[in-house]
Amino acid sequence: MNAQSKPTAILLTYGDAGSWKALQVLDRERMDIRLLAFESSFFRNDIRHIGELFPGLRLDALDFTPELSAVLQRQMASPAPLLSQVCVECRAAMLRAAGEFAAREGIDYIITGDTCSPGDRLRTPGVFHLIDEKSGQEGKVLRPLCDPARNPETGDPSSAPEAWAAAFPAARSLMPLARRPNCRLRDPSYFSRAWDLYLYGGPLSRRDIELLAVGRHFRLTEHARLVVGRNQEENLLIEGSRGLYELLIKVENFPGPSAVLSYTASPGEVRLAAAICARYADLPGHVEVSVRVRSAREAWRVRASPAPDSLCRQLAVRVWPELCDRRA
């Protein structure tokens, strides 16, 4: 404990209901509390929103993308990585980063909004102990909501989101977040796409991470991946975020998707990508169309007919729900 008259702590939060509830049950008269939020392209954080939910508390933010990317790189080396394993390693890395921040700032404890649940094997005392041990923060982590009397999983109605909203009007804005996973990796589709990229390409850039949540993904070959927009918003995002060494593909003269293709694609793979784009364009039947391909240095056109649905299904990055071996 530091030399101040009362202990200090950081509350880990991403604007979720759990961390907000944890703050309500703590005795803030006996402990100085600050907020620590982790920012990452893998999360749906809104730092400004977090500041509004916790008025009067100092808020610090750490970029967690490098740490989480390193966790994924290690875990994705498995032939079938499980989300539960990734979650444990991610939480340990998060507590480790929080502990390093606390040490620099002279802070005594780390508080989380974790709750214990016998129905979720990632929210048991044993797993929390393992996470603390892996992070090197044993004895420094406080989980006030793990008190069974305040645990919604044990049937205490006073802990239900509706009850909290009645007791604390500010909690109404948190109710939509109570059951919404903050981490995109909990989505089986997103997790499967991430695994595909690590399997064939190694560590992800921030742009790769953002693109995982966009469009239809196709694995043409080991060295060629295609992302096809599903609507105008995604088309604009794909066009605006195209990498320097990627190919931008778009059907001419007809409404249709924008797509990006790996720059390592061969001429045959470019033609295949053009056919897939034609499949999702608004065409008057099965007709051959002109498809424009643009790189950083040049642009050219290829002729393509829409690819068969069976081929598109075969090349689409498969979603592996079995990898997400927990209730997300």
pLDDT at 152: 38
Q: Which residue has the higher pLDDT, 121 or 309?
A: 309
Whether 123 and 116 have beta carbons less than 8 Å apart is answered as yes
pLDDT at 84: 84
- 34-48, 108-122, 164-178, 241-255: which range is least confident on average? 164-178
Which residues are within 8 A (CB) of 193 and not within 5 positions of it... i.e. 6 or more apart? 212, 217, 317
Across the range 37-45, mean pLDDT stands at 82
- 50-54, 59-63, 260-264, 311-315: which range is least confident on average? 50-54
pLDDT at 180: 47
Residue 280 clears pLDDT 80, i.e. is over it: yes
- 10-14, 86-90, 131-135, 156-160: which range is least confident on average? 156-160
> Model confidence over 133-186: pLDDT tens digits?
999 999 999 998 885 444 333 333 344 444 444 544 554 555 444 444 578 888
Q: Identify the band that residue 263 occupies on the pLDDT scale cut at 50, 70 and 90.
A: confident
Structure tokens at 212: 């995982």
Average pLDDT score over the chain: 82
Residue 88 clears pLDDT 50, i.e. is over it: yes
Across the range 224-248, mean pLDDT stands at 89
Distance CA 58, CA 49 (A): 14
pTM: 0.78
pLDDT at 325: 61
Structure tokens at 72: 């994924």
Architecture of domain 8-184: 3-Layer(aba) Sandwich (3.40)
Residue 48 clears pLDDT 60, i.e. is over it: yes
Distance CA 130, CA 132 (A): 5
pLDDT at 188: 86
pLDDT at 155: 34
pLDDT at 306: 96
Across the range 304-325, mean pLDDT stands at 88
Domain ranges of the chain: 8-184, 187-315
Q: Quick one: what percent of the chain has pLDDT higher than 90?
A: 42
Structure tokens at 78: 């498995």
Q: Quick one: what percent of the chain has pLDDT higher than 70?
A: 84
Residue 322 clears pLDDT 60, i.e. is over it: yes
